[in-house]
Amino acid sequence: MTDGKRNKKREARQRNYKYIKQVKEEGKCLLCLIKDKLTFHHREPKKKKKEVQRIASMGLSLRRLKSEIENCDLLCEDCHRMVHLDRSNNLRRYNEFIKFLRKYGKL
């Protein structure tokens, strides 16, 4: 890889990390509303192309990164862990809660 390509990849990674930081700084956990230690939770895992951090670290396009983030909800680490601990039960309740919020215009 030439120096020019390396520099472009490095710039793309920096741009992606900056965008992720901005999204997290402007957001809050969908479930508990705290603003610390936020992670991206894919609403529909089957539609997940790559993990958000992986897209950023590969230096893929900002359009691709934004597209993946649109399929995610922000959750704090604790809520994210709870959603995944008992996947069948907690994930079902999480999805019901999200449908409820969308139905009544809270999302």
Residue owning tokens 């710039």: 11
47-104: pLDDT as tens digits: 788 899 999 999 999 999 999 999 999 999 988 888 877 666 666 777 787 788 777 7
Instruction: Give exposure, 48-79, as e/b (b: 16+ Cβ within 10 Å).
Output: eeeebeebbeebbeeeebeebbebbbbbbeeb
* Short-list 64, 5, 74, CA closest to 38: 74
pLDDT of 87: 61
List the structure tokens of 20: 């992720």
6-19: pLDDT as tens digits: 889 999 999 999 99
pLDDT of 90: 66
33-49: pLDDT as tens digits: 999 999 999 988 777 88
